[in-house]
Structure 1
Amino acid sequence: MLQNPENTVFVRAATPLLVLTEAPVHDALPPLAPVSTGGEPPVCDGWGIVPRLTLCVVDGPGDHGTMIPALAAPVLGEGDLADWCEDAERAGGAVVVSLPTPLPTPLPPLLDLPALTRPATTRGGFVPLLG
């Protein structure tokens, strides 16, 4: 399934974030427990990510997965999508945060992970690199 790049945000960090809204895989991802400041999100067992400049793939168990036309999605933080991909390679993956509703527009310059993970409807976790 294809994720709308308008519903996607790549966030640069030591462990990068991939924020998806209204994602086709939302219900397949595990519920994301609230993450405290400095806390580590749980690993999404059976999921993997392939971060590339043109297409980012989030692959799940069975037929679950999504492809993101990466160049069309915004990147928050210093740098660009190439830097985000390097962050993901260094970290061994990325934290996928899936929200059932859109993010506010315009996007804030920083996203607050603890605030994003508070709603019971938030899903995701750390998704390791595939291959």
Structure 2
Amino acid sequence: MTPEKTLFVRGATPVLLLAEAAVHDALPVVTAPDGAVPACDGWGIMARLTMCVVDGPGDAGVAIPSFDAAVVAEGRTTTGPDAMGAWCEDVDRAGGAIVLSLDRLPEVPDWADLLGSGTSRGGFLRSLG
């Protein structure tokens, strides 16, 4: 998967948005209008400075070169090792990340729409290491 089809969002619970992901149909539909994103059983995430892996059951999974991927923090989008390193630290602190697979990346994430429309797939993935 190419970094251009991803968006890493920093926060107490970090988020990874995926567009046109090969795993889209394998992930469960997310319905969390109250913001409480369910765990995605059988899935995990490994966040590293140079590579992020979303691993699912069987052969389901994607690898994302993350070194120069876009990271959103406090409304600003940046790239580079400092930004990605901070996102990886967020994943470590949270014990995982919310991964949402979408048809296309939003210019500005509308969390109510992403979590309540029934068109996103994914959930909270526990950290694999």
TM range (shorter): 0.7 to 0.9
Query: Does the 8 Å contact 2:6/2:105 carry over to 1?
Result: no
1:98 aligns with 2:101: yes
Structure 2 match to 1:77: 73
User: Could you say which structure has the higher strand fraction?
Assistant: 2
Structure 1 match to 2:91: 88
Distance 2:115 2:36 in 1: 12
1:64 aligns with 2:60: yes
What is the TM-score when the length of structure 1 is the normalising length? 0.86
Distance 2:33 2:17 in 1: 15
Distance 2:72 2:100 in 1: 14
Q: 1:85 offset after TM fit, Å? A: 0.3
Structure 1 match to 2:43: 47
Q: 1:66 offset after TM fit, Å? A: 0.4
Distance 1:63 1:123 in 2: 18
Q: Percent identity?
A: 55
What is the TM-score when the length of structure 2 is the normalising length? 0.87
Distance 1:7 1:35 in 2: 25
Give the root-mean-square deviation of aligned CA atoms: 1.5
Question: What amino acid is the match of 1:26?
Answer: H
